[in-house]
Structure 1
Amino acid sequence: MVKRFLYSQKVAPYVFVLPFILVFLLFWVYPLGSSVSMGFQKITIGQEAQWVGLDNYTKMLGDEIFLKAIKNSFVYMVLTIVILIPFPMLFAVLINSKMMWAREFFKSAFFLPALTSVVVAGTIFRLMFGEMETSLTNSFLGLFGLEPVKFLKGQTTGFIALLTLATWRWTGVNMLYFLSGLKNIPEEYYEAASIDGASAAQKFFRITIPMLKPTTIYVVTISIYAGLAMFVESLMLWNGNNSPKNIGLTIVGYLYRQGIEKNEMGYAAAVGIVLLLIAMIINLTQLTLTGMFRKGE
C-alpha cells in the first residue's frame, strides 16, 4: 500500500520536492520568522526577552552610526557595480575573441584571486595600503616624489583600498559569468554583421551587449546582494570592526557590533530585517526597470 502510494503519479512529484520544502521551511522561513519576532524584543543573553514593540527600529533610525553604515554599504555597492560590470564584460569579450592566445591561462589568472581566502587577501591588502613609507602603495607613490598616504585613515582613500580588494577578488568571477553568456550568442549574428560591414564596436554595442542582457541582470543582482552583505573584507582590511570614524563600517558590520559585541540580539535582528528589506527593494526595482517581470522578456 505504501509502495503504491509513493509510486503514484499524483504523489510522486510531491515526494521529490518534499526535501526542498523541508529545507526551505527549516532554514529560511523559520529563521526569518524568528528574526522578525526578535526585532520587536529586547534580547540579552542570560536574561529574559522583553517585548519593546518598535523601539529597536526607532532607535535605529536615530542612530548616526547606523546611517553611516547604510551610506557606506550603499556607496560600496554602487561603486562595485560600476567597476565589476563593464570591465569583466570587456575582459570576457577579449578572451573570447578568436585572435586571443593563451585564453585558458588568462581565465585561470583572473579567477585565481577568488580562490584566495578573504582573510589572507584582507591581511595582504592591509599591508599593501599601510601608512608606512615602506608599504607597497607608498613605495610606488615615492617613485613619483609623492608623500606617503595614510590610506586606511581617510574616507576616500579607505574606499580606494576596499574597492581595489573587491576588484582584485571578483573581476575573474564576473568575467566567467559573461564568458558563459557569450557562448550562447549564435556566431551567425556576427557573421551577418560582418557581411553588412559592421565594425567591431558596432558588433559589441548592437549584438554583444543586448544579447548579454540576461547575464548582465544576473550579475547586477548578485552584485547588489554582495555589496550590501560585505563584511569580512572590511573587517580584515581595518584589522577589526572599529575603523577610524567608522569609515569602513558596513551594515553587516554594524549588525555584528550590536549583536555580538554589545549583546543586543533583538536590536541586531531588527537591523537584519532592515537590510533584507533594502536588498529586496533595490533588487526588485532593478529587475522591474530592466523588464525581467514582463512577459516575453
Structure 2
Amino acid sequence: MIKRFFYSQKVAPYVFVSPFVLVFAVFWVYPLLSSFGMSFQNVSLGQETEWIGMDNYTKLMGDTIFLKAVTNSVVYMLLTLVILIPLPMLLAVLINSKVMWGREIFKSAFFFPALTSVVVAGTIFRLMFGEMDTSLINSVLGWFGMEPVKFLKGQITGFIALLALATWRWLGVNMLYFLSGLKNIPDDYYEAASIDGASTFQKFTRITVPLLKPTTIYVVTISIYAGLAMFIESIMLWNGNNSPKNIGLTIVGYLYRQGIEKNDLGYAAAVGIVLLVIAMAINLTQLAFTGMFKKGD
C-alpha cells in the first residue's frame, strides 16, 4: 500500500519537490516571518520582549546613519551593474570568437579570483590601497609623479577600492554566465548576417545583445542582490565595521552593528525587512521593465 502510494504518478511529483519545500519553509519562510514579527518589538538578549508597534520603522526613517548605509549600498549596487554587466559580456564575446586562442586559459584565469576567500582578497586589497607611500597603488601613482592617496579615508576613493575588489572577484563569474548564453546562439545567424554584409558591431548589437537578454536579466538580478547584500568586502577593506565617517557602511553592516554589536535585535530585524523590500522593489521593477512578466516572453 505504501509502495503503491509513493509510486503513484499523482503523488510522485510532490514527493520529489517536498525536500525543497521543507528547506524553503524552515530556512527562509520561518526566519522571514520571525524577523517580521521581531521588527515590531523591542528584542534584546537577556531582556524581556516588548511590543512597540511601528517605533523601530519610525526610528529608521530619522536615522541618518541608516540612510547613509542605504545610500552606500544602492550606489555600490548601481556602480557594480555599470561595470559587471557590459565588461563581462564583451569579454565573453571576445573569448567566444573564432580568432581567440587559448580561450580555456583565459577562462580559468578570469574565474580563479572567485575561488579566493573574500577574507584573503579583502586583506590583500586593503594592503594594496593602503595610505603608505610603499603600498602598491600609491607606488604606481608615484611612478607618474602623483602624490600618495589615502584611498580608504575618502568617499570616492573608498568606493574605487570596493569596486576594484568586486571587479576582480566577479568579472570572471559573470563572464562565464554570458559564455553559456552565447553557446545557445546558433552560428547560422552570424553567417546569414555576414552574407548580408553586416559588420562586427552590427552583429553584436542586432544578434548577440538581443539573444543574450535572458542571461543578461539573470546576471542583473543576482548582481542587484549581491550589491545590496555586500558586507564582508567592506569589513575586510576597513578592517572592521567602523569606516571613517561611515563611508564603507552598508545596510547589512548596519544590521550587524545594531543586532550583534549593540544587541538591539528588534531594530536590526526592521533593518533587514527594509533591505528585503528595497531588493524586491528594485528587482521586480527591472523584471517588469525588461518584460519578464509579459505572457509569451
TM-score range for the pair, normalised by the shorter chain length: over 0.9
Partner of 2:229: 229
**Residue in 1 aligned with 2:87?**
87
* Mapped pair 1:74 → 2:77: no
Superposed displacement of residue 16, structure 1: 1.8
Using the alignment, how far apart are the partners of 2:91 and 2:18 within structure 1? Answer: 42
CA RMSD of aligned residues (A): 0.7
| Deviation at residue 18 of structure 1 after TM alignment | 1.7
CA–CA distance in structure 2, aligned partners of residues 141 and 258 of structure 1: 38
Q: How does 1:13-162 map to 2 (within 5 A)?
A: 13-162=13-162
CA distance in 1, matches of 2:289, 2:189: 27
Using the alignment, how far apart are the partners of 1:215 and 1:13 within structure 2? 28
1:212 aligned residue: 212
What is aligned with 1:199? 199
Measure how far apart 1:104 and its partner are: 0.4
Q: What is the match of residue 271 of structure 1?
A: 271
**Cα distance, 1:9 vs structure 2:** 2.3
Equivalent residue number for residue 252 of structure 2: 252
Give the aligned residue type for 2:212.
L
More deviation in 60-69 or 13-22?
13-22
- Percent identical among aligned pairs is 81
Deviation at 1:208, TM superposition (A): 0.4
In 2, the alpha carbon distance for the partners of 1:62 and 1:208 equals: 47
Partners of 2:186 and 2:261 in 1: how far apart? 54
**Take 1:57 and 1:107, find their aligned partners in 2: how far apart are those partners?**
46
Gaps of 5+ in 1: none
After TM superposition, where is structure 1 displaced by more than 4 Å over at least 4 residues in a row?
Answer: none
Residue-pair matches, total: 297
- Matched residues in 2 for 1:39 and 1:68: separation? 20
* Aligned equivalents of 1:8, 1:165: Cα separation in 2: 52
| 3-state DSSP of counterpart to 1:70 | helix
Cα deviation for residue 4 of structure 1 reads 2.2
Superposition deviation, residue 23 in structure 1: 1.3
Corresponding residue for 2:177?
Answer: 177
Give CA deviations for 1:85-116 in whole Å, capped at 9, x if unaligned.
Answer: 00000000000000001100000000011000
- Structure 2 portions without partners, runs of 5+: none
In structure 2, distance between residues paired with 1:137 and 1:10: 63
2:146 maps to amino acid: L
Q: Which amino acid aligns with 1:130?
A: G
1:127, 1:274 → 2: CA distance? Answer: 34
